[in-house]
Structure 1
């Protein structure tokens, strides 16, 4: 029996620097033995469970002007038990507690809302990924299809994060952050058919 399992993971760190957000994207690709298992130090996106400052458990860095950092990633896996079997895809939007931190003086409602929108964008593109992967033909090469679709969505996610940063003036314009919040929540609703399985928080 041929069993193929593969995992891709997109990581993005956002740094709050004197109220500004800097994005540092990293693409990691490696083979995994199973669907990604989330630890207690992570938060899987959930509509009933918003981020709180208690989730930012990383050790604060004592650097001039650096106020905080958020770390999210988008693990995606697929499994195909045999050549003739249907490929099953799994995608999650995940927040890393230990990789995220905030200085006490920077814990403002606006900053938290901005970080939530940042995390919500990961979920939005997770849903888009699920939708596109669900349309992959059964006889298609899963490795090629998976890689192409994932890379496309990663680029689109990165474009959205850049636009969020630009239009909100790096997260300090409250009206722009609110507009992004509304726009992202609407898009999530439109993609509700591809929401992941949510557990009660």
Structure 2
């Protein structure tokens, strides 16, 4: 077996916490708890909590007897040390909002898996995968910001309920691309 290329790339969240050692992988049916938030609360007016989550992917390329083989792995992570809450103001409603941020990251990981699945598994994969990841990440961040804007960071309860339902619906729609 002759290996032409073996590439490992790890792309992290917009906050680029590449040295973060502790992380929690998104899992179906598992929910965040306040104990998962281990960061130091920031003094941001009106903010009770902050979730740091994102998508990473790695891939490898090798050629055996002229046949290109490409493997990739896409994960959604929550970063406890970069996520925080103010204990005196925290409640289950706000925790659900923070879970929503984590779920949005998982939704975009599923979208990324779907896009990667459709790519040609040849020498163009690397360039195309990076481009798709960057675009997916821009859209994910905008989606996260829209979630906060429309829910007023969880304060608008009717919008919060709409968003929670929408995120759950989208996760189901992309269920075929969940991590197995």
TM interval, shorter chain, is 0.7 to 0.9
Residue in structure 2 matched with residue 35 of structure 1 by the alignment: none
Residue in structure 1 matched with residue 58 of structure 2 by the alignment: 77
Is the partner of 2:48 in helix, strand or coil? strand
Q: Which of 93, 100, 107 is the matching residue for 1:110?
A: 93
Q: Whose helix fraction is larger, Structure 1's or Structure 2's?
A: 2
TM-score (norm 2): 0.87
Residue in structure 1 matched with residue 107 of structure 2 by the alignment: 124
Aligned-partner Cα distance in 2 for 1:52–1:27: 23
Q: Whose strand fraction is larger, Structure 1's or Structure 2's?
A: 1
CA RMSD between the two structures: 2.2
Note if contact 1:113-1:177 (Cα within 8 Å) is conserved in structure 2. Answer: no
- Answering whether residue 56 of structure 2 is matched by residue 54 of structure 1, we say no
Unaligned runs of 5+ in 1: 12-24, 31-37
Unaligned runs of 5+ in 2: none
Aligned-partner Cα distance in 2 for 1:153–1:64: 28
- Answering whether residue 140 of structure 2 is matched by residue 142 of structure 1, we say no
Is the partner of 2:141 in helix, strand or coil? helix
Aligned pair count? 174
Deviations 1:37-94 (A, max 9, x none): x95x311111121111111122334x36353322112111111122732211211110
Q: 1:27 to 1:59 in 2, by over 3 A?
A: closer
Residue in structure 1 matched with residue 174 of structure 2 by the alignment: 191
